[in-house]
Structure 1
């Protein structure tokens, strides 16, 4: 009789605890693969909706309606993006032909800058991964091409319709209604051409970063046939220009996709692509960590702007004054006080390549960012609490969960072969990325 009562008690207790198990407990007990698939189906309809297309699947990559992606455009744009001979409008003669778009957005740093502030003209050196670039000693701060905010990544930019942290580039979509802020005589005026952000930034960026497309340079190099192949229906007198160079660069940028990352392989059916701990981290990303609420779609980015109270660029190594418009982010562009201190949601692939996070680079690791969001305490006292995002709230992640989430972001979202998007040489014969004397030594281009 006593044994019967004992076993009955055990059964009741077991039933009680099983009935009170949380969803999180269920995640621990059940296979991570199937739980993750179910969660992605619940959030997005299917896991396939997060798959990045192949970089040569031009019809599958989001494109501008006015700038279709073609193999010829991509080939031209890939060269132009890395072409140092476009550096034809320097402030100092010695800076001529020493910098390119890739000076601040190169493969070795996940198509961001390898340093806190990217430097175009006036930079010196490269190092191994771009971390060795410094201000050239013969330049003063007012002469160098440096931005008052961290260089955003080009990776997966096909999944954005406006560009830059404040979203100021892009003449359609998200920027509809901001036409009054497309100030004549400034780079924002390029929005009037009616292109999406990738194209608009590529066109405007050539002037901003002191690059010039000279017809005689094009005609006397292999670039002539590359331009003609890319834009066969455009007269040559129009074709060899900033506009069409920008459109080719944009077509190339849209193909820079992190589609060889382990998470992408897993989405495509390779169940061995992620470890058990990475799968647990992915479950946290798409559930308790709430990361998916801002970072979604194939690019794991977003077209919303949020104020998270992060610091602006600061410190003795910052090479320019940070103006108020930059500090106000989206509000600095729109003029709407409700947009103040809000910045565009960035993509999350290949973050392991850099050591600066947030628009001001104030956080030094992926784990720092996750911990910052987990605690939800603003570090920038200039940002009013009323402007902070409603999604900036404590997440109650444990230290172990932060470790798992960090593992997923750093490892599972890391494409190890971004060098495939960088040419080995240029039609001009000049050095790729940078061509100052120290960079030439660092990169073996002599």
Structure 2
């Protein structure tokens, strides 16, 4: 059984900076075409995710499962290749790796404290791994940057990943809502001209870490000594989680993740996250970052606080609810065989429908996915599965609906 999480497990962030990050998170100013915000893919109404298997990014309209893919020249050209992860407890000190494939981690390989897609071009002065993570949706064509030739940001990023950040920083520092406030909040900033992308993502990190820290679930109270915090079904599920069901082999420690990578043979679909020169529509997971064949189809173990709020599940959102995701863990091959495209939460995009499941026509790729499984089957009864689901609901924080800041009243998705 893990120890309970405490305040000492989290980075202390400045609340004045967090307040600025709160505004920025819900402001389209950080997108290339100024038509999408961080909150469109990470909204508290959907557990800080978006309720979709694969998101609809730049060019779409609306929020959550009702989001539409746009029309005309502004319509989306591609679904987001992977499921939008929840943002709970990302300010924890022990987190050293993020993204489904771990492409951002704490490391000094480039001399700047991080191993990231920006390599040596990552800006200096980042206050956390979370701040570094916040940089990359801003430069992603299909998430927030926009398509080539549509705006200055995406054009600059096409040249080199770090070239777009100064353009966004200029937008923010010349905006009267942000410039003076950031001068007041950041000691290293003397005038608005000193504001760079570093202060922007540091503010975003301060907000996300403050807003979505969650340590007051029934399970947390149980770990802190309240033996009555869990119902009998939840206690049975907890015992299964840490023993017979073997969930804690990977979902271990106070954060309920080993932060390692495992292959579960989730049914593939969508555009894939292909590497340069890869002719296949596929997602090879960790191998795309490590270039090690043994890492093929492995994905990072997610943390589980508030997991009941973040459906659908898996790196591509293949499973619509906790029970179906649990059943896949118990017998991946049987689950794979029984999976149907209707289980994916994919808003209709007529011009992408042929591509959504084209990987299923590649029998060799499908066999490669099925043949790489890092977990052994486990037999559980329906009652035991229901108990596991009950336990996972016991990981929902008591204060998730009353965060420090909340959604701005003027946020209009």
TM-score (norm 2): 0.75
Select which of 311, 323, 341 maps to 1:367. Answer: 323
Query: What are the Cα deviations for residues 259-294 of structure 1, in whole angstroms up to 9, with x where unaligned?
Result: 232212322344333211111111111111111111
Q: SS where residue 170 of structure 1 aligns?
A: strand
Residues 214 and 397 of structure 2 are in contact (CA less than 8 Å); yes or no, is this contact kept in structure 1? yes
TM-score (norm 1): 0.70
In the TM superposition, 1:207-246 aligns within 5 A as 207-208=139-140, 209-210=144-145, 213-215=168-170, 217-237=172-192, 239-246=194-201
Q: SS where residue 230 of structure 2 aligns?
A: coil
Deviation at 1:217, TM superposition (A): 4.6
Q: SS where residue 324 of structure 1 aligns?
A: coil
Q: SS where residue 232 of structure 1 aligns?
A: coil
Select which of 395, 403, 408 maps to 2:378. Answer: 395
Q: SS where residue 213 of structure 1 aligns?
A: helix
- Tell which deviates more after alignment, 210-219 or 357-366: 210-219
In the TM superposition, 1:228-267 aligns within 5 A as 228-237=183-192, 239-255=194-210, 256-267=212-223
The verdict on how the C-alpha distance between 1:416 and 1:138 changes in structure 2, with shifts beyond 3 A counting, is: farther
Residues 213 and 245 of structure 1 are in contact (CA less than 8 Å); yes or no, is this contact kept in structure 2? no
Deviation at 1:328, TM superposition (A): 0.7
Query: What are the Cα deviations for residues 67-92 of structure 1, in whole angstroms up to 9, with x where unaligned?
Result: x62222222222222223333x22xx
Residues 213 and 240 of structure 1 are in contact (CA less than 8 Å); yes or no, is this contact kept in structure 2? no
The 1-side partners of 2:397 and 2:368 are apart by 35
Q: SS where residue 237 of structure 2 aligns?
A: helix
Query: What are the Cα deviations for residues 383-414 of structure 1, in whole angstroms up to 9, with x where unaligned?
Result: 3566421xx101222221111001111x2011
The verdict on how the C-alpha distance between 1:422 and 1:381 changes in structure 2, with shifts beyond 3 A counting, is: farther
The 1-side partners of 2:302 and 2:54 are apart by 17
The 2-side partners of 1:232 and 1:116 are apart by 41
Which residue is 2:368 aligned to?
A: 383
Which residue is 1:62 aligned to?
A: 10
2:246 is aligned with 1:290: yes
Query: What are the Cα deviations for residues 51-110 of structure 1, in whole angstroms up to 9, with x where unaligned?
Result: 2x3xxx4xx2434xxxx62222222222222223333x22xxxxx3x3211110111111
The 1-side partners of 2:189 and 2:120 are apart by 23
Larger Rg: 1
Q: SS where residue 381 of structure 1 aligns?
A: helix
In the TM superposition, 1:291-370 aligns within 5 A as 291-314=247-270, 321-325=271-275, 327-370=283-326
| Structure 2 unmatched ranges of 5 or more | 146-152, 154-166, 276-281, 337-364
Query: What are the Cα deviations for residues 134-177 of structure 1, in whole angstroms up to 9, with x where unaligned?
Result: 21233565557x4211111111223422221001123428xx59
Deviation at 1:371, TM superposition (A): 1.1
Which residue is 2:345 aligned to?
A: none
Residues 41 and 50 of structure 2 are in contact (CA less than 8 Å); yes or no, is this contact kept in structure 1? yes
Q: SS where residue 383 of structure 1 aligns?
A: helix
Which residue is 1:37 aligned to?
A: none
- Tell which deviates more after alignment, 299-308 or 351-360: 351-360
Residues 309 and 388 of structure 1 are in contact (CA less than 8 Å); yes or no, is this contact kept in structure 2? yes
Which residue is 1:118 aligned to?
A: 55
2:155 is aligned with 1:155: no
Count of paired positions: 349
What is the aligned-residue RMSD (CA, Å)?
A: 3.1
The 2-side partners of 1:216 and 1:237 are apart by 11
2:92 is aligned with 1:109: no
Which residue is 1:414 aligned to?
A: 396
Residues 108 and 418 of structure 1 are in contact (CA less than 8 Å); yes or no, is this contact kept in structure 2? no
Deviation at 1:327, TM superposition (A): 0.6
The 2-side partners of 1:73 and 1:237 are apart by 15
Deviation at 1:115, TM superposition (A): 1.8
The verdict on how the C-alpha distance between 1:279 and 1:78 changes in structure 2, with shifts beyond 3 A counting, is: same
Residues 107 and 421 of structure 1 are in contact (CA less than 8 Å); yes or no, is this contact kept in structure 2? no
